[in-house]
Amino acid sequence: MKRVLLICTLVFSLLPVYAGEGKNLSAGDGKKGLPVDYVDPFIGTTNFGTTNPGAVCPNGMMSVVPFNVMGSSENTYDKDARWWSTPYEYTNCFFTGYAHVNLSGVGCPELGSLLLMPTTGELNVDYKEYGSKYKDERATPGYYSNYLTKYNVKTEVSATPRSGIARFTFPKGKSNILLNLGEGLTNESGAMLRRVNDCEIEGMKLLGTFCYNPQAVFPIYFVMRVNKKPLATGYWKKQRLMTGVEAEWDPDNGKYKLYPRYGKEIAGDDIGAYFSFDTEEGEKVEVRMGVSFVSMENARLNLDAEQKGKDFDRICAEARSAWNDDLSRISVEGGSEAQKTVFYTALYHLLIHPNILQDVDGRYPAMESNEILTAKGNRYTVYSLWDTYRNVHQLLTLVYPERQIEMVRTMLDMYREHGWLPKWELYGRETLTMEGDPSIPVIVDTWMKGLRDFDVELAYEAMYKSATSPGAQNLMRPDNDDYLSKGYVPLRAQYDNSVSHALEYYIADFALSRFAGALGKKKDAEMFYKRSLGYRHYYSKEFGTLRPLLPDGTFYSPFDPKQGENFEPSPGFHEGNAWNYTYYVPHDVYGLAKLMGGKRTFVDKLQMIFDEGLYDPANEPDIAYPYLFSYFKGEEWRTQKETQRLLDKYFTTKPDGIPGNDDTGTMSAWAVFSMMGFYPDCPGLPEYTLTTPVFDKVVIRLDPKWYREKELVIETNRAKQGMLFIDKIRLNGKRFDKYRITHDELVHGRKLSLDLR
């Protein structure tokens, strides 16, 4: 999803030239051996990649992220943080704290709150003034650090699945720790704070309205502790100090006399709390934060369960170990050091979302409800399905099936609780962002690949409901009336994304037709398959592209197939143009080729899209385009050439090394698959298209619960460096004469060998 705000273009042009000064992309001593050593969390942190270098565990609820997108008097721009869709931008320079619980790779602002900030000297709670420039950034999975030049404070953070920990190394003198609840990326500002004792506070902060949906509002609860007794604590509201303790200076011993008022609380907009200390040179103060989407009691439970008896270094080591275990499910040999960095960083980004929602006791907020339920396994959240249905869940199914099956069960539980499968779910709220019916291909694809330990009949009931319900009652397909009666969605308003909507429905209906057929529902299968071919209505012979249709069945005019290529509005198409969508019929490639006049026209026009720069590598509808060449005998070399070219050009070890929003791992999943040498170009169809791997050997460790083989080996034989094209293919030692391979053939084939020429 690419919700790019035009204001950002202006903001980037105004960034100070010294913004990146002092950045250090390599954490540690530079020695590499383990998969975790190759991850560079700074990749994708600019060029609208919207990833961040903060500390997080695999699929963890908690992430602790440096927040540097706040307007300030020290920056050359002064924009509200809510213009940004990320808490961190690599080229920025002004740090205003650590945000707790964040999104990775999204295109709309949300979360990024509970801002924790260390300062020194006299207390100042104005975020435009208390922020600091920084240097010596370091990041590795589960750890981030920087040095605040204004205060001479070293900051370090790490995380457990549901809690964060910060370690601040202060100079000698007066030091402060601030918790700002008024700022962040969310459009909500309401919050509550309560003092528990000298070293602990608890509270709640409202979050929500992701992509400006006013219905998607929800609370986050927290408990925060410092490990040093403060000299003074207090609150502020809209930058006006309000003391939580009475304090007076005792000149005889040079210390404060404290009169605590335990239980005092504050609520409202733009509130915060502070802790003030006297610190010695090099003294370290730790701050621990537990969060929950259930209650403050559960936030405390999460904190105690995951951090009790552990210091900062142990928590950091455990996070690093968890990442290395997950990344080690795929091992690679050969390739350059840079390619390994791109690969493992992409795999790292893939494993951030969806993330767990349930607390350590299993409790979680039910979908679109105030009810609190208890999960039997992991309950997941952050389903950016318009993006991830294309490849993220396919990669999870292959490499992390135990997680994917729980994600499917979560989706069905959402249907039980809310009456609809998710479209773009966020912490128990349906944001209705983007279009289509994306849960269907995810669930069908999972089932088709053998992961079937879920309520299949309930899944079919849910899919059938969204595919057949009238539009006025249909959250997934609001224009279903036209779709059902006409076979297409007409353009009823100039920028209604009608073609994009319909193309998504066709893909969902194709997947549903296969699911229905496999379940013995023959008539349903025929009905949904027939629907899936409705894309033909949109084909315009005049332009050789898909083109919006009016209610009377005539084509929209005047029509420019390039309109929308720079993210300006485009009639009928969402975040793209006709060239980005015309080949977006992965379930009927041969049928589309026939419409175009045959193989030659199809291939030549597709190649023209790449040659003339009409391909958009930063958005989802056309990301499978390079693989479509391989549907036609003799044209497979084009897939191999284009995938390598795109990898080399757009996926690098630099901060701009992702071509636009990572979209909760979707761009990264494209890179992981393409670098391994195969790609699932049709969601819901358990097949892959082969391409040239970048590595000499890839070993995927398979879960014995789901797959009978222990591992899958992909071996690439190059007589010399620079060889690009596949000459011969062998599967388990036998000649394999196809460039498409089924999921069963792949996972049961033991070894896929590719000889290059």
Q: What is the pLDDT of residues 136-185, one digit of tens each?
A: 999 999 999 999 999 999 999 999 999 999 999 999 999 999 999 999 99
User: What single string gives the DSSP state of each residue in 663-696?
Assistant: TTTHHHHHHHHHHHTEE--STTS-EEEE---SSS
The owner of tokens 């259930």 is 294
Give Cα 489 distance to the centre of its chain: 29
Q: How far is 546 from 580, CA to CA, in rounded Å?
A: 10
Residue 351 has pLDDT above 80, yes or no: yes
Residue 695 has pLDDT above 70, yes or no: yes
At residue 48, the 3 state secondary structure works out as coil
Distances in whole angstroms, Cα of residue 681 to Cα of each of 132, 155, 354, 502, 636: 46, 44, 21, 19, 14
**Residue 569 in domain:** yes
Residue 42 has pLDDT above 50, yes or no: yes
| Backbone φ, ψ for residue 384 (5° rounding) | -85, 65
> Residues 627-641: what's their mean pLDDT?
98
190: which 2 tokens?
Answer: 């309401």
**Residue 176 in domain:** yes
Residue 559 has pLDDT above 60, yes or no: yes
Judgement on whether residues 240 and 362 belong to the same structural domain of the protein: no
What CATH number is given to the structural domain containing 316? 2.70.98.10
Residue 39 has pLDDT above 60, yes or no: yes
DSSP state of 95: B
**Final residue before a domain boundary, out of 295, 324, 353:** 324
The radius of gyration computed from the CA coordinates of the chain, to the nearest angstrom, equals 26
Judgement on whether residues 296 and 376 belong to the same structural domain of the protein: no
Tell me what pLDDT residue 23 has: 52
**Residue 473 in domain:** yes
**Residue 144 in domain:** yes
Residue type, 347: L
Residue 72 has pLDDT above 80, yes or no: no
Judgement on whether residues 376 and 520 belong to the same structural domain of the protein: yes
Tell me what pLDDT residue 565 has: 86
b (16+ CB within 10 A) / e for 493-504: eeebbbbbbbbb
User: What single string gives the DSSP state of each residue in 518-574?
Assistant: HTT-HHHHHHHHHHHTGGGGGEETTTTEE--B-TTSPBPSS--TTTTTTS--BTTBS
pLDDT band at 8; cut points 50, 70, 90? very low
What CATH number is given to the structural domain containing 391? 3.30.2080.10
Judgement on whether residues 214 and 317 belong to the same structural domain of the protein: yes
**Final residue before a domain boundary, out of 276, 301, 324:** 324
The answer to whether 207 touches 218, Cβ cutoff 8 Å, is yes
9: which 2 tokens?
Answer: 């273009």
Residue 30 C-beta-side C-alpha neighbours within 13 Å: 1
pLDDT band at 209; cut points 50, 70, 90? confident
217: which 2 tokens?
Answer: 């509002």
**Residue 1 in domain:** no
Judgement on whether residues 534 and 576 belong to the same structural domain of the protein: yes
Mean pLDDT estimate for the chain: 92
Judgement on whether residues 369 and 238 belong to the same structural domain of the protein: no
Residue 294 has pLDDT above 60, yes or no: yes
Number of domains in the chain: 2
Judgement on whether residues 319 and 335 belong to the same structural domain of the protein: no
Judgement on whether residues 309 and 358 belong to the same structural domain of the protein: no
Distances in whole angstroms, Cα of residue 206 to Cα of each of 112, 137, 146, 384: 11, 30, 29, 21
Residue 382 has pLDDT above 50, yes or no: yes
**Final residue before a domain boundary, out of 273, 294, 324:** 324
Judgement on whether residues 344 and 469 belong to the same structural domain of the protein: yes
Compare 242 and 356 and report the one with higher pLDDT: 356
Distances in whole angstroms, Cα of residue 95 to Cα of each of 391, 394, 620: 35, 37, 32
Range of the domain at 284: 41-324
Judgement on whether residues 221 and 238 belong to the same structural domain of the protein: yes
Judgement on whether residues 298 and 393 belong to the same structural domain of the protein: no
Residue 28 has pLDDT above 90, yes or no: no
**Residue 29 in domain:** no
Among the ranges given (78-87, 130-139, 362-371), the one the predictor scored with the smallest mean pLDDT:
78-87
pLDDT 10s digits, 264-276: 889 999 899 999 9
DSSP state of 187: S
Residue 80 has pLDDT above 80, yes or no: no
Judgement on whether residues 334 and 312 belong to the same structural domain of the protein: no
Give Cα 511 distance to the centre of its chain: 24
